[in-house]
Amino acid sequence: MRFIYIYDPLCGWCYGFTPVIQQLQQRSNGNMEFSVLSGGMITGDNRHPFSTMAAYIQREHTNVENMTGVKFGEAFLEKLLPSADIMDSEKPSVALTVFKEYQPENAITFAHDMQVALNYHGQSLNHDSTYRALIKKFSLPEDEFISRLHDEHYRYETQQEFQLVQNWGITGFPAAILDTGKQLYLCARGFTTLDRLEETIENILRENNSL
């Protein structure tokens, strides 16, 4: 059985939901496989400067904080958000693809680390230096990681991941799927509390056991 978390590194609600997934992973005690896929929320012609979304995010971030418990940092709200830095999901998504080749078991942790770097510390996910700093705690080879980050092979693999998510009909993030081995079940669409998520999974498993 596999739990598939579908997120985007630039999604504020995903920033709030990833800690829930981490708690679920801890409480599963290894009884369920966990993976994370990137959805490709802002790519290609949809890319734009943070400043064009500043007014919306300034209003919306308090809703995310109140519902999820995460905090957006001043460095993000006051420096990165009003800037001309480009919102682009591709590079951090490629970084996750590369990371999963090294340590797939820590992929959700790395995904959250990228979110914290962006939304709390106000660090651009467009800069190689951000990833050099993030991978230190995982003891990954920095130069090799950065080389792969710019490798067309990993970009292609990431684009295939975007396509898979799109083929599943998932266009909003976050989302989560439970793969029982026989069927895929959508068990979260948007932010979901841990209790609600566990209840949904239990209901799916109960239904499957009764079939």
106-163 tens-digit pLDDT: 999 999 999 999 999 999 999 999 999 999 999 999 999 999 999 999 999 999 999 9
The whole-number pLDDT of residue 210 equals 58
* Beta carbons within 8 Å of 66's beta carbon, 6+ residues apart: none
45-78 pLDDT tens trace: 999 999 999 999 999 999 999 999 999 999 999 9
Site of tokens 């999604």: 11
Whether 108 and 5 have beta carbons less than 8 Å apart is answered as yes
**Which domains, ranges and CATH numbers included, belong to the chain?**
2-210 (3.40.30.10)
The whole-number pLDDT of residue 92 equals 98
